[in-house]
Each structure stands twice: as C-alpha cells, then as structure tokens.
Amino acid sequence: MAQELNALIDKHVSVITNDGKNLVGVLAGIDRVTNIVLKESVERIFSMDYPVRQVPIGLYIIRGDNIALIGELDKEADEKIDYDSIKVLPMKPVVH
C-alpha cells in the first residue's frame, strides 16, 4: 500500500484511524510500513452535543498499523462544508 500512496505526497488527505479519529492534512511523507507524516493537520472531533470541532495539530506522525482509511481530499469541496452547523455521532473504533 505504501507504494500506491506515493502519488498522494503533497496532496490533501483525510485519514481515519483505528480508534475513530478523523485527521485532515497534507501528506508529507510515508515509509515502507505505511507510517505517514501529515503537515498542516487538523483533527476533526465529532459529537451530537456540539458542532464539529477542528483542532489544529500541525506536523503529525501516524503509525501505519493505526490507519483504517486514507484518501485524497477535495480541498475545494471540503472548504464549502459548514462544519459549524454539523452535529453527528463520533465514529466508533475499528474492530478487527
């Protein structure tokens, strides 16, 4: 999988981790075991009690075995979403 992700270097991606976190940022690097480095990253925290919170993280490393899903993000479409008006259940952890 690491080889296929090389095409996403320097592109905006969304990452879902096994514990249900949603991280968005620019893919800065990847190694052969799919550990990744995100720059300009933000964690999106979902809740039914308050709108989506976007917590700036900056440079962030994620272990490859903690990644459930990674994909390119359409930044233009993403910027049109009004996250301040969205309340949604948080994602559940991935169970293998």
Q: Tens of pLDDT along 68-89?
A: 999 999 999 999 999 999 999 9
Give me the sheet containing 53-62, strands edge to edge: 53-62, 36-45, 22-30, 12-17, 67-72
* Contact residues for 65 (Cβ-Cβ < 8 A; gap 6+): 18, 33, 34
Q: What's the pTM? A: 0.91
Mean pLDDT of the chain: 94
Tokens of residue 59, six digits: 């440079």
Rounded to an integer, the average pLDDT of 6-31 is 96
Gyration radius of the chain over CA positions: 13
